[in-house]
Amino acid sequence: MSTPNDLYYTENHEWISLDGEEGVVGITEHAQEELGDIVYVELPTIDEGLDQFEEFGVIESVKAVSDVFTPVSCVVTEINESLMDQPELINEDPYGDGWLIKVELKDKSELDELMDSTEYKSFLEGE
Amino acid sequence: MKKTSLYDEHLNLGAKIINFGKWQMPVQYSGIIEEHKAVRNAAGLFDASHMGEVLISGQDALNLVQRLITNDASQMKVGKVIYSPMCYEDGGIVDDLLVYKLEDGQYMMVINASNTTKDLRWINKNAELFENVDVVDKSGYYALIALQGPLSLQIISSIMDKDISDLKYYSFVNTKVNGIDAIVSRTGYTGELGFEIYLQKGKAASIWRMLLEAGNEKGLKPAGLGARDTLRLEKAMCLYGNDIDETTNPLEADLAWTVEFSKEDFNGKKELKKVKEAGIDRKLVGFVMSERGIPRHGYEIKVEGEVVGEVTSGSYSPSLDSNIGLAYIDKGYTSIGREIDISIRKRDVNAKIVEKPFI
């Protein structure tokens, strides 16, 4: 199970990466595998403000409906439009082309509440 | 939790296992969409061993069967299979099932796994009305393997001596598969050419492996409950617990073709006759989403803001690459082509009623 080193992880299996002030949010390899074939994605609108751990979208696989939550308080700056026609990108490349939203962080210290890849890995083993 | 005799096979094939009623069953192996397409284009192999089998025999066997089911078993020849709802007196559906006529005076009912306890109670209660009938639960004896898809005949034929290319839809033979006694019927839950193989539990794993090997080069894939559900939905086949249950009757479920009013008394006849004469209040229809969104069991249906029904089954359809569903909709709103709204997370999403089956 891949858990890249440079990401922060939530217990709900989202990840966030940080590039300067901008964060990119997606779901983990484990999450996409649990869901199975993803066939539908609902994402927020640009400029929407979100609290930490607030629900911001819905991912549906053939069998399951799953809410996704923001790892940090943020404002949405971009959504991954390609997922509208190709939701399977999340299955194929959850840490790359399958990203969900780009955000501007409100409070970087919230990242300290998240897990690093080692912690997330042991979290997965304990689940 | 219960495991079928093929459980270890599923684990070895990397299946994802879920709890399905009392059973631990494979929901998928390689992926629902891939398995679905394998069944439509080549073939898929399913473990359906969780299904229940009930043997009804004796001089009064036919009388009991006729009382239990709404369809007519009196004209069945040995080697025939029929589909039927089984109703309570009030016309509500206890279960939907297959009846196999094994011999004169001997029938096998194949019932849904999650209903076996309830069904047996109901069957036994009705059996008390007859003098010469035996009801035996054979669910613990049989494994059931379903081989479904356009290439299923080729694949099964490669491990059978007997030629079954002439076997008609809803017929079966008592035969041998690779030397093992089995009932092979041309039935299934996918709408494709396909066979269901009933055999003794202990022999199932060897036949399962042999079929997988025989079909390997033809594109056969093991397929789980996930694909089973999308395949049956595209053909608008009812799923008990979703589309039909004790609160629905066969007439509103669009199963009028399985209710034979001309036969003598059967459970539910009186009430169903009333429904027929008065006309149904609601009807199970098929619909396709016109806008983005996936319908799911329990979502409300609206017309001009008024709730007129409820989704019973809904999914992404791999064959159509669109989102489809079944729903009970109040009379007056069920015509083909009518636009309806599905309430998805408080948003009204447009859909259209279409002919069943979907493909």
Q: Which residue has the tokens 């709730």?
A: B307
Residue A62 near chain B (CB below 8 Å): yes
Q: Which residue of B has its CA nearest to A84?
A: B292
The answer, yes or no, to whether the previous bond of B357 is cis (omega within 30 of 0) is: yes
- B315:A62 CB<8 A: yes
- B315:A58 CB<8 A: no
> Whole-number mean pLDDT of chain A?
96
* pLDDT (0 to 100) of residue B160: 94
Q: How far is A34 from chain B (nearest CA, A)?
A: 9
Residue-by-residue DSSP string for B295-349: --TT-EEEETTEEEEEEEEEEEETTTTEEEEEEEEETTS--TT-EEEEEETTEEE
pLDDT higher than threshold 90 for residue A20: no
Under CATH, which number does the domain B2-51+141-234 receive? 3.30.1360.120
Nearest partner of B233 among B50, B98, B97, B356, judged by Cα: B356
* pLDDT (0 to 100) of residue B316: 98
Query: Would you list the domain boundaries of chain A?
Result: 8-108
- pLDDT for B109-149, tens place per residue? 999 999 999 999 999 999 999 999 999 999 999 999 999 99
Nearest to A65 among B16, B229, B296 (CB): B296
Residue A107 near chain B (CB below 8 Å): no
* Torsional class of A32: left (φ above 0), alpha (ψ -120 to 50), beta (otherwise): alpha
* pLDDT (0 to 100) of residue B321: 97
Residue type, position B220, single letter: L
| pLDDT under 70: residue ranges of chain B | none
Q: How far is A19 from chain B (nearest CA, A)?
A: 32
- A63:B296 CB<8 A: no
* pLDDT (0 to 100) of residue A60: 98
Quote the CA–CA distance of B348 and B353 in Å, as a whole number. Answer: 15
3-state SS string over A29-96? Answer: HHHHHHHCCEEEEECCCCCCEECCCCEEEEEEECCCEEEEECCCCEEEEEECCHHHHCCCHHHHCCCC
- A62:B292 CB<8 A: no
- A63:B27 CB<8 A: yes
Q: Which residue of B has its CA nearest to A42?
A: B293
Q: How far apart are the first and last CA of chain B?
A: 36
pLDDT higher than threshold 90 for residue A21: no
- pLDDT for A34-44, tens place per residue? 999 999 999 99
Query: Would you list the domain boundaries of chain B?
Result: 2-51+141-234, 52-137, 281-354
Residue B222 tokens, joined: 């093991």
Nearest partner of A54 among A14, A109, A6, A24, judged by Cα: A14
pLDDT higher than threshold 90 for residue A1: no
Domain B52-137: what homologous superfamily? Aminomethyltransferase beta-barrel domains (3.30.70.1400)
* pLDDT (0 to 100) of residue B133: 98
Name the CATH topology of A8-108.
Answer: OB fold (Dihydrolipoamide Acetyltransferase, E2P) (2.40.50)
B210 phi, psi to nearest 5 deg:
-65, -40
Q: How far is B54 from chain A (nearest CA, A)?
A: 31
Angstrom CA distances, B268 to B63, B164, B189, B210, stand at 15, 37, 26, 44
* pLDDT (0 to 100) of residue B228: 98
Give the H/E segment covering residue A25.
strand A22-27
* pLDDT (0 to 100) of residue B216: 96
> Whole-number mean pLDDT of chain B?
98
Nearest partner of A39 among A64, A68, A12, judged by Cα: A64
- Give the pLDDT band of residue A127 (cuts 50, 70, 90): confident
Under CATH, which number does the domain B281-354 receive? 2.40.30.110
Residue B314 near chain A (CB below 8 Å): no
* ipTM of this predicted structure: 0.92
